[in-house]
Amino acid sequence: MTRSIYELTSPEVAQVIADSPMAVLPFGSTEQHGPHLPCGTDTMAAELIAAEIAERTGGLYVPFGPYGVTPIHAGHPGTISLSRATFEGLLKDVCNELIDMGVSTFVFVNWHEGNIASLDGVATDLQSTRDATFIVAHACYTAQRVYEDKGGELTHGGGIEALAILAYNPLLAKVDLAGEPTRPPKAHALDEMRRSKEVYGFITDVTEIDAEGWYGNPQWATEERAAGFVQTVSGAIMDRLGGILALRS
């Protein structure tokens, strides 16, 4: 059973931390995802995976909130972006409070690329100043890796994100409203550019990828695939998480 700080009493929180001083936090965003997926897609996906990882590790599940750093989606109804300063200040406060409670290991489960710089900055700052270890798992990239050979693509509002919403709540996945699969010129190349680990550039407005702010093939997502989404992605993260924890012990 997932042990969420929201649902536990104060003594129960203390006992969870005493048993396993690990906190698992999900990070996403609230931003437009076209006419067919909810604005909270990234947060919903992150929460699903983070809750499962907390259950598997025995850690404390600590929801962070629905908002992330997403200025590239500004101007689209439903998008609410935090500044990096606000996001990082809030995250530092949350982590410091948890460290004071006895948490010594943090697992950040992220599904939104705009949060990456802030998560890395806060993690390295706190690990250098507090007695705590930080690990970041970008669940969106893990999903891209594990579904690639099945035809899944990590595009904004595309197949893998539709799959996450089918797993979260099928009623929220209005895939029929998306129309035909789309692949605008340069969209895939721009995604590859900004995600490169070697040499990369940036986009500052999602309309650089597509005028409507999304692209891909949401029809790839099926209820059959969605049934295994949480176990598949969280299992792949756990495979790597165990090795990192062993290195840090």
Residue range 4-36, pLDDT digits in tens: 999 999 999 999 999 999 999 999 999 999 999
Structurally, the chain folds into a number of domains equal to 1
Q: In this predicted model, what pLDDT tens digit does every residue of 177-222 receive, in sequence order?
A: 999 999 999 999 999 999 999 999 999 999 999 999 999 999 999 9
- In CATH, what number is assigned to the domain containing residue 169? 3.40.50.10310
Provide the pLDDT confidence category of residue 248 given band limits of 50, 70 and 90. confident
Sheet containing strand 22-27, edge to edge, reads: 3-4, 60-61, 22-27, 105-110, 133-138
Residue 114 pLDDT exceeds 80: yes
Percent of the residues in the chain that have a pLDDT greater than 70, as a whole number:
100
Q: In this predicted model, what pLDDT tens digit does every residue of 35-74 receive, in sequence order?
A: 999 999 999 999 999 999 999 999 999 999 999 999 999 9
Residue 249 pLDDT exceeds 80: no
Spell out the long-range contacts of 65-68 with Cβ–Cβ below 8 A and sequence spacing 24 or more: 65/90, 66/28, 66/29, 66/30, 66/40, 67/29, 67/30, 68/27, 68/28, 68/29, 68/30, 68/31, 68/42, 68/43, 68/112, 68/114, 68/115
Domain coverage including residue 18: 3-243
Q: Residue 249: inside a domain, yes or no?
A: no
Q: Residue 228: inside a domain, yes or no?
A: yes
pLDDT for 1 equals 77
Q: Residue 248: inside a domain, yes or no?
A: no
pLDDT for 171 equals 98
Structure tokens at 173: 């996945």
Q: Return all residues near 163 (Cβ < 8 A) that are at least 6 apart.
A: 143, 147, 152, 220, 221, 222, 225, 226, 229
Round the average pLDDT of the chain to a whole number and report it.
97
Q: Residue 111: inside a domain, yes or no?
A: yes
Q: Residue 155: inside a domain, yes or no?
A: yes
